[in-house]
């Protein structure tokens, strides 16, 4: 019943997040601090004055009437400020979307025609619906893949573009704009045609802004400088007739647009372009908001920003505007003007509306060169030189991403530049995650943690590795090759402990890789053990049968893993007679008998002395069990357990006698000469050594349990256990 109820759609649970996003204006009003009012009012006036001529210029670039740019700046700016997330972001008409809109609609209608204007409005509404849907579905995480290097490269390139594109209006030149290089070349060739009065006003505005900033950084330098330039043009009168000015502004509120909202044929023709404009608008908005947030360290809500842009475009299209998004240049002006919150954007929109309604004639005195000079100063401030140095000093991949994005922004279309940076970020991410580090670790000196110490000794039987990345299809080949390379480097290590606390995700390719590794170690006569397996990876292993293949006994508790493997899996003979190091805590009190190596006995992996017929005698565990149960006592084999006493006490064959290998080698004499001898140890290594010694002393009927006590226990045969008191154990040690 609980599962069925959990699968039912909960309207309240689905609508509550949407309602929370739509209530953003209420939170803005309730959370506003009056201490920010003065700074926001001043910054808003400055932004409004700067944005007004830009809106006109961008609308003309999009092939639309100047009034549409102003309506976009007012309606889109207000809606984006009320429902957005960033305090510093300012939305409105932008160069990127204006050019993209022109390229999209020019194939459907003649720029400037009635059909073209209607198509622009309908496309804007479609863009808003798409963006609003992404926000309500909480898909804002998709823009998290835009790396910080992309933002820095984009903002730096945008600053360079602003400077280059404002040279002509700053000097009063009329040069056809092509690509960046041809446009710059044309500007240089046209320098003799510079309008001296326009250039003087533009350069004077720049100088005044810099002087005011040095005198008092808190002064609204841009606003004062533009006002001063406007006053100069007004006072000069006819003598400033050659100075380029904004011109008279349209008056009145943005009127509702008559759009064919239910014309499915037209919607279908615009759908592809609407998706492109919506996607590029969101990418640009995210880039601008993140660049601004890097200055204020504000935490952004991408879903809220998507909703803000969606509502802004819907209202902009319905009220005679066109597509809007976050603006780099205006956001930079807003920040430099000292804005604290989104109220500055609301004030800027009101300022534009007030100028249009009450002082439309002021545009006839506002010089374009002064506005160009202000934008150039703003563009230089967009270049974060300290952050650029940090990126160059950091990872080389981030520097490459920044350079590629910068060059693409300057020399290619802005949307393609951002997408190139994002694509390169994805490629770098795939490169990094497809080759996660497989690191050999050993216990630290205090046996508290596992650390990577290349110079530390390694256990000859057990290897320990950490996989520092996810087990997904792009990485499993590298991980498998790395572990198999370690296995080839340490061929005596038949057991492997994999620490998986860095593996957060695992897919079906990871399952296959794990099964291949387990099979490889089993073929070597060993096994693989896992610790710190994430719930997601464990669930996948259970669902695919991988866990059943590996065996649940291979999943160990990290705190008890070494103790379990040391006492129940590893061969103590190697630890005592062959291994010269003490890697684990459990090794510290273990006796080391290297004196036995001087007897030319067989070493690990060697065949050792064989009987005369050249064949070792191995007796299967069940056959030995049968003989011990069915043969008369005089004919029963004598079972000699050559393990250490503590191993013998833990588990042994009931009929066996304990005679450690060291005792047998030095002074151990077998009391019975006329009975077959069967040697037992953990895996067979010590039995082989003991058999070689006994044959050298003349014992011929010597056999070994095939597979040792591990095989005996695996066959389900009974063993005896000796219990001792704690005091006796301590005394024995």
Residue-level pLDDT at 396: 78
Q: Name the pTM for this structure.
A: 0.58
- Judge whether 579 counts as a catalytic residue: no
Is 595 a residue whose pLDDT tops 60? no
Domains (range + CATH), the chain: 12-380 (no CATH), 437-570 (3.30.750.24), 618-732 (3.40.250.10)
* CA separation for the pair 291, 534 (Å, rounded): 35
Q: Are 566 and 589 in contact (CB under 8 A)?
A: no
Residue-level pLDDT at 615: 52
* 687 secondary structure, DSSP code: H
Across 163-177, 388-402, 466-480, the highest mean pLDDT is recorded for: 466-480
Is 10 a residue whose pLDDT tops 80? no
Q: Are 492 and 605 in contact (CB under 8 A)?
A: yes
* CA separation for the pair 341, 27 (Å, rounded): 13
Q: What is the mean pLDDT of residues 313-322?
A: 96
Is 148 a residue whose pLDDT tops 80? no
Q: Are 467 and 514 in contact (CB under 8 A)?
A: no
Q: Are 368 and 169 in contact (CB under 8 A)?
A: yes
Q: What is the mean pLDDT of residues 353-358?
A: 86
Across 15-24, 111-120, 416-425, the highest mean pLDDT is recorded for: 111-120
Residue-level pLDDT at 419: 65
Band (548; pLDDT cuts 50, 70, 90)? very high
Band (454; pLDDT cuts 50, 70, 90)? confident
Residue-level pLDDT at 4: 39
Residue-level pLDDT at 611: 54
* CA separation for the pair 547, 36 (Å, rounded): 60
Look at 58-62, 490-494, 622-626 and tell me which has the smallest mean pLDDT.
Answer: 58-62
* CA separation for the pair 127, 225 (Å, rounded): 37
Q: What is the mean pLDDT of residues 639-643?
A: 91
Residue-level pLDDT at 7: 40
Is 174 a residue whose pLDDT tops 70? yes
Residue-level pLDDT at 312: 96
Residue-level pLDDT at 16: 64
Task: Provide the percentage of residues in the chain whose pLDDT is more than 70.
Answer: 89
Q: What is the pLDDT of residues 103-126, one digit of tens each?
A: 778 878 888 899 999 999 999 999
In order of 42, 209, 651, the CA distances from 215 in angstroms are 18, 10, 89
Contacts of 11 (CB under 8 A, 6+ apart): none
Residue-level pLDDT at 458: 87
Apex CA 252: angle with CA 246 and CA 253, to 5°? 110
More confident residue, 605 or 704: 704
Band (164; pLDDT cuts 50, 70, 90)? confident
Residue-level pLDDT at 372: 81
Q: Which two tokens stand for residue 373?
A: 């000079």
Q: What is the pLDDT of residues 566-594, one digit of tens each?
A: 888 887 777 877 787 888 988 888 777 65
Q: Are 77 and 91 in contact (CB under 8 A)?
A: yes
Q: What is the mean pLDDT of residues 267-292?
A: 84
677-680/702-705 β-pairing: parallel
* CA separation for the pair 663, 676 (Å, rounded): 20
Band (343; pLDDT cuts 50, 70, 90)? very high
Residue-level pLDDT at 322: 96
Based on C-alpha coordinates, what's the Rg of the chain? Answer: 40
Beta strands (DSSP E) in 343-396 are: none
Is 466 a residue whose pLDDT tops 70? yes
More confident residue, 128 or 30: 128
Q: Are 628 and 637 in contact (CB under 8 A)?
A: yes
Is 464 a residue whose pLDDT tops 90? yes
- Residue that the structure tokens 């065996």 belong to: 551
Is 326 a residue whose pLDDT tops 50? yes
Residue-level pLDDT at 256: 94
* CA separation for the pair 498, 518 (Å, rounded): 11
Q: What is the mean pLDDT of residues 313-335?
A: 91
Task: Provide the percentage of residues in the chain whose pLDDT is more than 90.
Answer: 30
Q: Which long-range contacts (CB under 8 A, 24 or more apart) does 359-363 make?
A: 360/248, 360/249, 360/250, 360/251, 361/248, 362/230, 362/249, 363/52, 363/53, 363/245, 363/246, 363/247, 363/248, 363/249
Beta strands (DSSP E) in 75-167 are: 91-92
Residue-level pLDDT at 462: 93
Average pLDDT, the chain: 83
Q: What is the pLDDT of residues 654-704, one digit of tens each?
A: 999 999 887 888 776 776 667 899 999 887 878 888 888 888 888 888 999
Is 168 a residue whose pLDDT tops 60? yes
Is 733 a residue whose pLDDT tops 70? no
Q: What is the mean pLDDT of residues 231-258?
A: 83
Band (603; pLDDT cuts 50, 70, 90)? very low
Residue-level pLDDT at 726: 41
Q: Are 24 and 304 in contact (CB under 8 A)?
A: yes
Best CA proximity match to 710, nearest among 664, 668, 647: 647
Is 523 a residue whose pLDDT tops 80? yes
Residue-level pLDDT at 381: 77
Residue-level pLDDT at 217: 76
Question: Of residues 459, 575, 579, 681, which has the active-site annotation?
Answer: 681
Residue-level pLDDT at 599: 42
Residue-level pLDDT at 723: 62
């Amino acid at each position: 019943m609980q599962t069925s109820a959990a699968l039912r759609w909960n309207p309240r649970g689905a609508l509550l997040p949407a309602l929370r996003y739509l209530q953003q204006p209420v939170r803005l009003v309730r959370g506003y601090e009056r201490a920010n009012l003065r700074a926001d009012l001043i910054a808003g006036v400055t932004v409004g004055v700067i944005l007004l001529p830009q809106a006109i210029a961008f609308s003309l670039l999009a092939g639309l009437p100047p009034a549409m740019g102003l309506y976009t700046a007012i309606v889109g700016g207000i809606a984006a400020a009320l429902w957005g997330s960033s305090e510093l972001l300012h939305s409105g008409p932008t160069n990127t979307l204006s050019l993209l809109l022109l390229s999209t609609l020019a194939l459907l209608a003649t720029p400037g025609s009635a059909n073209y204007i209607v198509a622009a409005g309908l496309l804007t509404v479609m863009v808003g619906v798409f963006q609003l849907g992404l926000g309500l579905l909480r898909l804002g995480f998709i823009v998290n893949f835009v790396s910080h290097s992309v933002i820095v490269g984009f903002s730096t390139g945008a600053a360079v573009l602003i400077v280059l594109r404002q040279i002509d209006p700053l000097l009063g030149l009329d040069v056809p704009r092509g690509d960046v290089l041809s446009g710059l070349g044309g500007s240089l060739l046209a320098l003799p045609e510079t309008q001296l009065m326009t250039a003087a006003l533009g350069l004077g505005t720049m100088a005044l802004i810099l002087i005011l900033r040095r005198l008092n950084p808190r002064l609204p330098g841009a606003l004062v400088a533009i006002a001063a330039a406007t006053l100069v043009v007004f006072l000069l009168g006819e003598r400033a007739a050659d100075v380029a000015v904004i011109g008279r502004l349209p008056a009145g509120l943005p009127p509702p647009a008559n759009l064919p909202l239910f014309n499915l044929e037209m919607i279908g023709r615009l759908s592809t372009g609407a998706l492109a404009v919506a996607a590029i608008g969101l990418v640009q908005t995210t880039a601008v908001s993140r660049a601004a947030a890097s200055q204020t360290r504000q935490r952004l809500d991408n879903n809220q920003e998507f909703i803000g842009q969606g509502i802004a475009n819907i209202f902009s299209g319905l009220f005679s505007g066109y597509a809007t998004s976050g603006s780099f240049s205006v956001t930079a002006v807003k920040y430099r003007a000292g804005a604290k919150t989104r109220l500055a954007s609301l004030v800027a929109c009101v300022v534009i509306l007030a100028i249009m309604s009450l002082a439309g004639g002021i545009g006839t005195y506002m010089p374009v060169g002064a506005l160009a000079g202000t934008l150039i100063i703003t563009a230089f401030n967009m270049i974060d030189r300290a952050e650029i140095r940090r990126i160059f000093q950091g990872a080389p991949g981030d520097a490459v991403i920044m350079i590629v994005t910068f060059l693409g922004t300057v020399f290619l279309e802005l949307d393609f530049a951002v997408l190139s940076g994002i694509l390169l970020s994805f490629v770098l991410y795939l490169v990094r995650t497809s080759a996660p580090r497989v690191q050999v670790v050993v216990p630290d000196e205090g046996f508290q943690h596992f650390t990577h110490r290349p110079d530390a000794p390694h256990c000859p039987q057990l290897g320990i590795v950490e996989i520092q990345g996810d087990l997904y299809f792009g990485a499993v080949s590298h991980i498998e090759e790395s572990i198999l390379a370690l296995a080839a480097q340490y061929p005596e290590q038949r057991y492997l402990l994999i620490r998986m606390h860095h593996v957060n995700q695992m897919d079906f390719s990871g399952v296959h890789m794990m099964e291949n590794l387990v099979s490889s170690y089993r073929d070597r006569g060993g096994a693989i053990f896992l610790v710190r397996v994430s719930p997601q990876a464990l669930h996948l292993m259970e669902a695919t049968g991988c866990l059943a293949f590996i065996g649940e006994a291979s999943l160990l508790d990290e705190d008890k893993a070494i103790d379990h493997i040391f006492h129940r899996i590893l061969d103590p003979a190697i630890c005592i007679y062959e291994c010269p190091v003490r890697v684990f805590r459990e090794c510290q009190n273990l006796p080391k008998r290297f004196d036995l190596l001087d007897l030319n006995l067989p070493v690990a992996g060697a065949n050792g002395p064989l009987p005369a017929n050249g064949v070792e005698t191995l007796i299967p565990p069940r056959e030995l069990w049968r003989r011990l149960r069915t043969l008369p006592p005089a004919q029963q084999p004598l079972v000699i357990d050559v393990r250490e006493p503590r191993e013998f006490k833990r588990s042994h064959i009931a009929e066996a006698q304990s005679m450690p290998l060291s005792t047998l080698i030095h002074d151990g004499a077998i009391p019975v000469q006329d009975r077959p001898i069967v040697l037992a140890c953990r895996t067979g290594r010590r039995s082989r050594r003991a058999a070689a010694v006994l044959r050298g002393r003349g014992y011929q009927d010597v056999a070994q349990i095939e597979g040792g006590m591990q095989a005996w226990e695996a066959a389900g045969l009974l063993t005896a256990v000796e219990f001792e008191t704690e005091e006796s154990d301590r005394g024995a040690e």
